[in-house]
């Protein structure tokens, strides 16, 4: 059987995969929600959901620092990764061990197609289609604000990097009713972006773990801007966690609307 991944690569399997390694946290959670508890044998140290898997599955390193020999010793028959999360060098090495299926996600549509495709390659087509149907229903119920607020979305502190265009975060900002004020592609440094004061600065909980003390640091630099800590999983996880995102966006938008009701 030959499957086409999101990097347009042929991925050939000889049967239903029974020993799967997942190299991306959001896709690991997806595999769990598709009911692949027995089939998934390895995950990364960042795959914290489900907690039961984090405690019990073999951890094969970080997303960009994989333990290739450990993966080899686990004898997988399918490895599932992502173009952005995993390095090209690691993927090349892993292809000598087992078939490697790669996602490449910049839009909500990409994410939904990924869910369907992973459902197909793991023989969980019905479950994946039902999940996509539920996610679409959640987003269709969500009412975007009439007025879109301009946002700079920080993903790192030193150096300071932003989420730009052609990223899944940008797509989710749009879905949530915000306008990404970073006009450059991918993840540019703040120093390379020309801007006036946005309406909000979002400090994401990941990959850099922005916390309350960082708000004061940014507030001094941007005294006229509302600084907001946001849940990075809701803006950057492109698996089954998307089920939770619309409700989170609703609450966030309501809180920010109350704060700016005098605008």
pLDDT at 259: 62
Question: Band of the pLDDT at 144, cuts 50, 70, 90?
Answer: confident
Specify whether domain 2-138 bears CATH 3.30.70.100: no
Burial of 215 (0-12, 13-18, 19+ CB in 10 A): middle
Residue range 53-61: mean pLDDT, rounded: 97
Read off the pLDDT of residues 75-118 as tens digits, 9 standing for 90 and up.
999 999 999 999 999 999 999 999 999 999 999 999 999 999 99
Contact indicator for 194, 244 with CB cutoff of 8 Å: no
- Rounded to 5°, the CA angle 169-174-176 comes to 95
Domain 2-138 shares a fold with domain 149-259: yes
Q: Delimit the domains of the chain by residue range.
A: 2-138, 149-259
Helical residues (DSSP H) of the chain, grouped into ranges: 25-33, 51-56, 68-73, 88-94, 108-121, 125-141, 168-176, 212-221, 232-236, 245-259
DSSP conformational letter for 7: T
Superfamily of chain region 149-259: Nitrogenase molybdenum iron protein domain (3.40.50.1980)
Q: Which residues pair with 230 in a beta bridge?
A: 204
pTM of the model: 0.93
């Amino acid at each position: 059987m030959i499957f086409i991944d999101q990097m347009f690569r042929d991925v050939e399997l000889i049967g239903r995969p029974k020993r799967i390694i997942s190299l991306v946290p959001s896709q690991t959670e997806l595999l769990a929600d598709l009911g692949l508890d027995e089939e998934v044998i390895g995950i990364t140290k960042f795959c914290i959901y489900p907690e039961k898997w984090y405690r019990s599955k073999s951890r094969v390193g970080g997303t960009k620092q994989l333990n290739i020999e450990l993966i080899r010793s686990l004898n997988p028959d399918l490895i599932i990764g992502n173009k952005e999360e995993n390095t090209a060098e690691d993927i090349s090495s892993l292809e000598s061990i087992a078939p490697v299926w790669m996602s490449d996600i910049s839009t909500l549509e990409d994410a939904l197609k990924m869910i369907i495709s992973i459902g197909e390659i793991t023989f969980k087509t019905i479950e994946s289609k039902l999940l996509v149907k539920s996610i679409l229903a959640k987003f269709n119920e969500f009412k975007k604000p009439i007025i879109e607020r301009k946002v700079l979305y920080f993903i790192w502190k030193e150096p300071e990097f932003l989420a730009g265009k052609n990223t899944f975060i940008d797509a989710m900002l749009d879905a949530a009713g915000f306008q990404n004020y970073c006009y450059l592609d991918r993840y540019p440094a703040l120093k390379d972006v020309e801007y006036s004061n946005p309406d909000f600065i979002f400090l994401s909980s990941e990959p850099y773990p922005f916390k309350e003390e960082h708000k004061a640091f940014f507030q001094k630099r941007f005294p006229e801007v509302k600084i907001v800590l946001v849940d990075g999983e809701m803006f950057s996880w492109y698996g089954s966690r998307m089920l939770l995102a619309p409700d989170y966006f609703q609450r966030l938008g309501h809180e920010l609307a109350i704060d700016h009701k005098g605008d």
